[in-house]
Amino acid sequence: MPLCRCLPALLLLTVLVAGCASSTIAPRYTSDNPDVMRIGGERPANRDTSVESAGSFCLETAERWNEHGRTPDGQTLWAKDIMRKVVSCQ
């Protein structure tokens, strides 16, 4: 019965090797909306802070472009961060 004792370990090793040998998902560095993410080039210009009326309160919106890493071919990934806060209407 030595085979019964090592069968779970053998199964685990087989699953581990099969998982590592399978192909990984290739990342896709494109965006359907260039207002949210851009690839390569210089940092896009940040928009000025704006205040919008939302009825009984107002929203102050600030948009900032930040570097979020690089693609495998060395291009910079730019992503837009949007910060909103409630302010009193003037």
Position 60 pLDDT exceeds 90? yes
Q: What is the mean pLDDT of residues 7-18?
A: 72
CA dihedral sign, ordered 44, 34, 87, 55: positive
Helix (H, G, I), strand (E, B) or coil at 7: helix
Cβ count within 10 A of residue 78: 20
Residue with tokens 């210089």: 42
| Predicted confidence band of residue 38 (pLDDT cuts 50, 70, 90) | confident
